[in-house]
A and B are shown apart, each in its own frame.
Chain A
Amino acid sequence: MSDIQMIVSLVGAATVQTIVMVFFSMVFSLILGLPLGILLCVTDPAVGIMPKPVLNQILTRIVNVLRSFPFIILMILLFPLSRIIVGTSIGTGAAIVPLSIAAVPFVARVIETALKEVNPEVVQAARAMGSTNMQIIIKVLLPESMPSLVAGITLTVINLIGYSAMAGAIGGGGLGDLAIRYGYQRFRTDIMIVAVIVILVMVEAIQIIGTKISTDFMNHR
């Protein structure tokens, strides 16, 4: 196998692993982070539609602690959890667990911030028309904040690409793993450069797509 072919097949496989890691971590962190973000917004004692000061304080604290946790340490702490959920603490599947959990508080904050941007008078109008709290969340808060939500999720995906490279460094596979194993440990600078370029292209592509979707929502109003 020629050198170029080898690089292509190595980078190709690693790219797929990175995409798998980022995609599933995004999905799982959204499944947990979306309700948490909604809860943070609606229970806010000042602007929430169902103020619950104590619950809001507790959730805010948890989210803040998790968010300020260094990712590498979170990964190491979550190795046992990966073993329980995925059956192993090595590989792409195993990396999804800490990645998802690390992204949950980030997603929650992004969602909370976006929802709080909705004009409170518009929410009041919805309440005046006899909306239930659930209807306000589903039919008012989420649709009205769609441009910000999409921008926030785009940012999360980009962060996850960065985190997934770190996860790769401790056995998670993907482009970060490739760059370190070949570029750093085996002095294959060419492979490292290609891996880094692919990461940069991915980030740029996500950013462009995210901005496009967000502005489309913005222009449709």
Chain B
Amino acid sequence: MHIRLESLIHTYGDVHAVQNVSLDIPSNAIFGIIGRSGSGKSVLIRLISLLEKPDDGAVYYDDERVDDLPDDELILRRRRIGIVFQNINLFNSRTAAKNIAYPLEICGMPKDRIKARVAELLELVGLADRGNAQISTLSGGQKQRIAIARALANNPDILFCDEATSALDPQTSRSIFELICDIQKKMNLTVVLVTHKMAVVRDVCSYVAVIDSGKVVECGSVVGIFAHPKADITKDFIADLPARPDPKDTGRTENV
């Protein structure tokens, strides 16, 4: 699904969190949004994912305007979007499998079909044997895998990842990104991936938008932007990049 943002504006009191953001997010690719902490990435994601209504501007999914949908249609629309958060936000009162079942339950899917779908998803994220595990017994990476499975349960067209791996160690976050790339291809997903690390953009994304103080300062293909960065902040991000590891070196320790 292709997403178009038109002059999005969002303020909290006198904090201009998102200032006049227009973006075209192509279908079936991984689109990165990079910016420093506090630059408005999470607010932007909340606007694109229909969690909050923008003060001004419009959000289109495949040319259908979605930001001004009435509440009941908004709820139905949200059921076809997956989101993964930095803080993972699983339900502690449910087992891993029941967490994945939640989005299916709220759509009223029959129990036997939920069971089959949950088994499929556990398999997809490589945790087929952990369905009955309590959340507190899982590692950070396993929790994020369950959260990804939960986000994908309803076969969404779009997956949003807001700093999905910022709380994880480098190896674990690498395996999570491999999973996301894998799933993107398998499910033909449009992925919007928020990060504050340029290495993630380089290794995972095809397109990127650089945002600073709520504004898009640069946008385009990752290859193009790495070759000719224009904005100073983009140059800073690239300069701070850890050296690309030697491909022969199997134990990659790169700080992704």
* Chain A contacts to B: CB under 8 angstroms: 119, 121-122, 124-132, 135, 139-140, 143-144, 146, 217, 220-221
B105 engages A139 (CB within 8 Å):
yes
How many positions in chain B have a CB within 8 Å of any CB in the partner chain?
Answer: 29
User: Could you tell me if B106 and A130 are in contact, using CB atoms closer than 8 angstroms?
Assistant: yes
| A125 and B92 contact, CB distance less than 8 A | no
List, sorted by A's number, 8 A–B pairs whose CB atoms are closer than 8 Å: A128-B49, A128-B81, A130-B79, A130-B103, A140-B91, A143-B94, A144-B91, A221-B135
Contacts of A220 in B (CB 8 A): 134
A135: B residues at CB distance < 8 A: 106
How far is it, in angstroms, between the C-alpha of A220 and the C-alpha of B133 when the chains are bound? 10
Q: How far is the CA of A217 from the CA of B49 in the complex (A)?
A: 33
Q: Check A146/B93 contact, CB under 8 A, given A130-B103, A220-B134.
A: yes
Q: Give bound CA distance, A125 to B107, whole Å.
A: 15
Does the CB pair A221–B134 fall under 8 Å?
yes
Known contacts A121-B85, A143-B94, A127 near B102 by CB under 8 Å = no
Contacts A130-B103, A139-B102, A144-B93: A125 and B134 contacting too (C-beta < 8 A)? no
| B89 contacts A by Cβ under 8 Å | yes
In the bound complex, what is the Cα–Cα distance between A131 and B176 (angstroms)? 26
Contacts of B154 in A (CB 8 A): 129
Apart from A127-B78, A129-B151, A143-B91: 6 A-B pairs, beta carbons within 8 A: A121-B89, A122-B91, A125-B83, A129-B154, A130-B79, A144-B92
Enumerate B41-67 residues with CB–CB distance to A below 8 Å.
Answer: 49, 51
List the A side residues contacting B83 at CB < 8 Å: 125, 128-129
Residue ID in chain B nearest A125 by CB atoms: B89
Residue B136 CB within 8 A of the other chain: yes
Binding site for A on B (CB under 8 A): 49, 51, 75-81, 83, 85, 87, 89-94, 102-103, 105-107, 134-136, 150-151, 154
Contact of A130 among B76, B89, B90 (CB under 8 A): B76
Total residue contacts A-B, CB cutoff 8 A: 63
- When C-beta atoms are compared, the residue in chain A nearest to B83 turns out to be A128
For B80, the chain A residues whose CB sits under 8 A away are 130
A129 contacts B76, C-beta separation under 8 Å: no
B93 touches A143 (CB 8 A): yes
Q: How far is the CB of B53 from chain A (nearest CB, A)?
A: 13
Tell me the bound Cα distance from A221 to B99 in angstroms: 12
Residue of A nearest to B82 (CB): A129
Whether the pair A128, B51 counts as a contact (CB closer than 8 A) is yes
Q: How far is the CA of A169 from the CA of B106 in the complex (A)?
A: 51
- CB neighbours of A217 from chain B (8 A): 93
Q: How far is the CA of A48 from the CA of B204 in the complex (A)?
A: 37
Q: Which chain A residues border B106 with CB–CB below 8 Å? A: 129-132, 135, 139
Question: Within 8 Å CB of B81, what residues of A?
Answer: 128, 130
CB-CB < 8 A to A131: which residues of B?
Answer: 75, 106
Query: Hey, which chain B residues are within 8 Å of A143, CB to CB?
Result: 91, 93-94
Does A121 lie within 8 Å of B91, measured CB to CB? no
The answer on a CB contact under 8 Å between B78 and A129 is yes
Q: Are A129 and B79 in contact (CB under 8 A)?
A: yes
| Chain B nearest Cβ from A151, distance in angstroms | 15
In the bound complex, how far is the Cα of B150 from the Cα of A25, in angstroms? 41
Q: A144-B92, A221-B134 are in contact. Are A121 and B75 (CB under 8 A)?
A: no
Most buried by A among B78, B79, B91, B134: B91
> Which chain A residues border B105 with CB–CB below 8 Å?
139
Are A129 and B103 interface neighbours, CB within 8 A? Answer: yes
Which residues of chain A come closer than 8 Å to B75, judged between CB atoms? 130-132
The CA-CA distance from A126 to B51 in the complex, in Å, is 11
Which residues does chain A contribute within 8 Å of B51, judged by CB atoms? 124, 127-128
Instruction: Tell me the smallest distance from the CB of B189 to a CB of chain A, in Å.
Output: 16
Cβ A130 vs Cβ B91 within 8 A: no
CA distance A139 to B106 in the complex (A): 9
Closest 3 CB pairs of A and B: A130-B79, A130-B78, A125-B89
Check if A221 sits within 8 Å of B93, measured CB to CB. Answer: yes
Shortest beta-carbon distance from A65 to chain B in Å = 33
- Of listed A121, A125, A127, A143, residue having the most chain B CB within 10 A: A125
CB distance from B20 to the nearest CB of A (A): 25
